[in-house]
Amino acid sequence: MCHLSKSARSEELGWKTCKDCEVGSMKNYDTKIVEETLHQMFSPDWLRKTARDTGLIKRERKVDPVVMFWVLVFGFGVRLQRSLASLKRSYEKTSDSNLSDGSWYERFTPELVSFLKQCVVHGIEHLAQEPTRKSEKLSQFKDILIQDSTIIRLHEKLAKKWPAVRARKVAAGVKVSMLVSAVSDGPKRVALHGERTSEVKTLRIGPWVKDRILLIGLGFYKHQLFTRIKENGGYFVSRLKGNANPLIIGNGKQKDLIGKRVSEVLPELKGELDVEVEVNLYRRKYNGKRRKDTDSFRLVAIYNEEDDVYYTYLTNISSDILDAKDISSLYSARWDVELIFKELKSRYALDVVNTTNPQIIEAYI
């Protein structure tokens, strides 16, 4: 049985989680449906205008940006073409024209990267207009967002530009970070970083988080981050880090728990835990100094019978909006981005980039 099977609680919250039959049917998608949908997103007029605006096409030349776009999307994207030479042959066949190697290779420039980034943004905006799948319980929030990343290994010649975390061997790697909407079931932002960039630095908190929920992975766990989300009018749900041991400062039903650490309570816990806790944090540097501070959040612990363990979450969403089981079910939506990365690598070979040219790498990704 698939570990992402839809539960009654997740149905109540409106999540379309993975089922065995849904995963199996991925291989049977009608490619014509995919092609028709993409052609609705990207009209020839829009592609040509964007190519001019980004400097990809400065004057009419042999390489048509519309044909090039579709060759890249349907050539490289489905593992049919893995080299510039094979993509060039595909372009010539599609456009019924002949190109010199130089005419084709010279197109893989920073302007092409800029053009393709605009295409990604355009596609994201198109998906944002699709009907959402929010439930009534979540109607007061503008969106539910998931930030995560994956590593793509690159040729060692790129180690200076994109150094890998490994220390024993010269290696290169790029981190692809993605902000995904669990409501519209699609990406909101995609960015490339060096592999050594910490997860926290790929997520910049600001006024944009207002009235939105961020589902935070343990790689982003930081009390200062949670406080900034709250101060900007946003909301979050995160698993509690293993070494975190917050102090219980409030509990409506069990007053005897106040003043205890979570690690003291969990071993003796019967049922679920839903309390207010205090955590320590460091504020951002000001005049070269970091000030210690504290903040309070809601802590929820739900017992998982299958794993015989308590899953513990930290959040600032009130119990009047979502109860403890709702919080646990909401966090399961993080699987959306895990499945996206898994499909991009297994079905579309995102992690197979056989080139040392940075522009080609960015264009491919």
| Tens of pLDDT, residues 320-329 | 999 999 999 8
**What residue has token string 């979502």?**
322
What's the CA gap between 329 and 144, in Å, rounded?
A: 13
Nearest to 263 by CA among 245, 247, 238, 249: 245
| Tens of pLDDT, residues 47-71 | 999 999 999 887 656 788 999 999 8
What's the CA gap between 134 and 20, in Å, rounded?
A: 23
What's the CA gap between 121 and 194, in Å, rounded?
A: 21
State yes or no: pLDDT of 30 exceeds 80.
no
169 or 203, which is more confident: 203
At residue 23 the predicted structure's pLDDT band, cuts being 50, 70 and 90, is: very low
What's the CA gap between 282 and 215, in Å, rounded?
A: 22
Give long-range contacts, CB 8 A cutoff, 24+ apart: 69-77. Answer: 69/42, 69/116, 69/119, 70/94, 72/116, 72/363, 72/364, 73/38, 74/35, 76/364, 77/348
Q: 38: number of CA atoms within 13 Å, CB side?
A: 15
At residue 238 the predicted structure's pLDDT band, cuts being 50, 70 and 90, is: very high
Provide the residue ranges of all domains of the chain, joining segments of one domain with +: 27-128, 136-342
Residues facing residue 53 across a β-bridge: none
H-assigned helices in 54-164: 65-75, 84-95, 101-105, 110-128
CA 63 to chain centre: 33
Round the average pLDDT of the chain to a whole number and report it: 81
Q: How many CB atoms lie within 10 A of CB 58?
A: 9
In the chain, the percentage of residues whose pLDDT exceeds 70 is 82
What's the CA gap between 288 and 175, in Å, rounded?
A: 29
- DSSP annotation string for 230-299: HHTT-EEEEEPPTT--PEEEE-SS-GGGTT-BHHHHGGG--S-EEEEEEEEEEPPPBTTB--EEEEEEEE
List the single range of 85-89, 168-172, 196-200, 247-251 with lowest mean pLDDT: 168-172
State yes or no: pLDDT of 295 exceeds 70.
yes
308: left (phi over 0), alpha (psi -120 to 50) or beta: left
Instruction: Identify residue 247 by its one-letter amino acid code.
Output: L
Nearest to 141 by CA among 274, 17, 237: 237
Locate 147 and state its tokens: 């930030």
Q: Are 47 and 70 in contact (CB under 8 A)?
A: no
Nearest to 300 by CA among 284, 313, 318, 285: 313
At residue 284 the predicted structure's pLDDT band, cuts being 50, 70 and 90, is: confident
Average pLDDT value for residue range 174-178: 88
Q: Which CATH superfamily, name and number, covers 136-342?
A: Transposase Inhibitor Protein From Tn5; Chain A, domain 1 (3.90.350.10)
pLDDT value, residue 3:
37
| Tens of pLDDT, residues 55-113 | 988 765 678 899 999 988 877 655 445 578 888 888 888 888 888 888 888 888 899 99
CA 175 to chain centre: 12
Task: Please provide the distance, in angstroms rounded to a whole number, between the alpha carbons at the two ends of the chain.
Answer: 33
| Tens of pLDDT, residues 251-283 | 766 678 899 999 998 888 878 899 999 999 887
State yes or no: pLDDT of 44 exceeds 60.
yes
Average pLDDT value for residue range 26-30: 41
Burial label for 89, CB within 10 Å (0-12, 13-18, 19+), is: middle
